[in-house]
Copies of this chain bind each other. A is one copy, B any other.
């Protein structure tokens, strides 16, 4: 019965489409995007039934609209949707930041803002594009929804069932709490990984450095292979929390640097031991 319209049929949008279609959660899936080659891949891989050729109509008669593009495009997409939005349609997104998205949706959708609920599947990867779509991408993964006091119960239920159907574990929290948490555990590590690789490329012996870099470097910098466009958007969107976390990390590094300068063996060991114990105990 469900018709789903997906803006941005990349890794996340494509995987969700593939899952919703193959589990019969959706009867009809339509894709929209800027990149024709990627949309052609999505058709070939049967992620979507068709590419939208009448966007106004597809907006008007969809049950669910999923915005799965880089976050900077959300405002213009919401403006495209708004004039044609039926009262029964639920809109969600899959962006890695939530405060700015909720603000845009509120401003642009006006009285229909109750039909919007922010979402964030914690199932990213450095891979991108429709060709990376995976039907099991969300299985046992966390998906965070960020409803507020305006969000309709129907919106909450619809999007919760969309994700549960894909095998995800759904949690609800405020957009502020979300952005604060992900600044620390996701955005900051990405910036550190990008920065380390960038730093190395500016060395005169960059090639030799990369030649001898091994498995530790490989894993540490895997996220530095992520989409620059997506991460530029996330960084600007979540600017305040990210700047706070960079500051905290700078303080942490400064303390370690001083401990090394003073050869404070006990302090260095205590820091490493605390991190090592925590990381060894932690399992995803």
Asked whether B212 lies within 8 Å of A181 as measured between CB atoms, the reply is yes
Complex Cα distance, B280 from A210, in Å, reads 12
Contact of A236 among B201, B220, B263, B282 (CB under 8 A): B263
Complex Cα distance, B248 from A122, in Å, reads 32
Residues of chain B contacted by A276 (CB below 8 angstroms): 194, 224-228
Asked whether A196 lies within 8 Å of B189 as measured between CB atoms, the reply is yes
Asked whether B198 lies within 8 Å of A186 as measured between CB atoms, the reply is no
Q: Does A184 sit at the interface, judged by CB under 8 A?
A: yes
Residues of chain B contacted by A200 (CB below 8 angstroms): 184-185, 278
Q: Does A193 sit at the interface, judged by CB under 8 A?
A: yes
The residues in A between 122 and 155 inclusive whose CB is less than 8 angstroms from any CB of B are 122-125, 141-142, 144
Residue count of chain A within 8 Å CB distance of chain B: 84
Asked whether A220 lies within 8 Å of B220 as measured between CB atoms, the reply is yes
Q: Does A252 sit at the interface, judged by CB under 8 A?
A: yes
Minimum distance in angstroms from A174 CB to a CB of chain B: 13
Complex Cα distance, B225 from A9, in Å, reads 36
Complex Cα distance, B258 from A242, in Å, reads 12
Complex Cα distance, B278 from A215, in Å, reads 16
Asked whether A201 lies within 8 Å of B246 as measured between CB atoms, the reply is no
Asked whether B235 lies within 8 Å of A268 as measured between CB atoms, the reply is yes
Q: Does A25 sit at the interface, judged by CB under 8 A?
A: no
Asked whether A265 lies within 8 Å of B236 as measured between CB atoms, the reply is yes
Minimum distance in angstroms from A135 CB to a CB of chain B: 17
Residues of chain B contacted by A256 (CB below 8 angstroms): 191, 194-195, 246
Residues of A within 8 A of B (CB): 122-125, 141-142, 144, 181-182, 184-186, 188-201, 203, 205, 208-229, 231-232, 235-236, 239, 242-243, 246-250, 252-254, 256-257, 260-261, 263, 265, 268-269, 271-276, 278-280, 282, 284
Apart from A189-B220, A196-B275, A198-B252, list 6 A-B contacts with CB within 8 A.
A189-B216, A197-B278, A229-B269, A236-B268, A246-B253, A246-B257
A-B contacts, 27 of them at CB < 8 A, read A122-B212, A123-B215, A125-B215, A142-B211, A184-B203, A185-B213, A185-B214, A186-B214, A189-B220, A192-B192, A194-B271, A194-B272, A195-B249, A195-B253, A195-B271, A196-B249, A196-B275, A198-B275, A199-B249, A213-B282, A219-B220, A219-B223, A220-B223, A228-B275, A239-B263, A250-B253, A250-B254
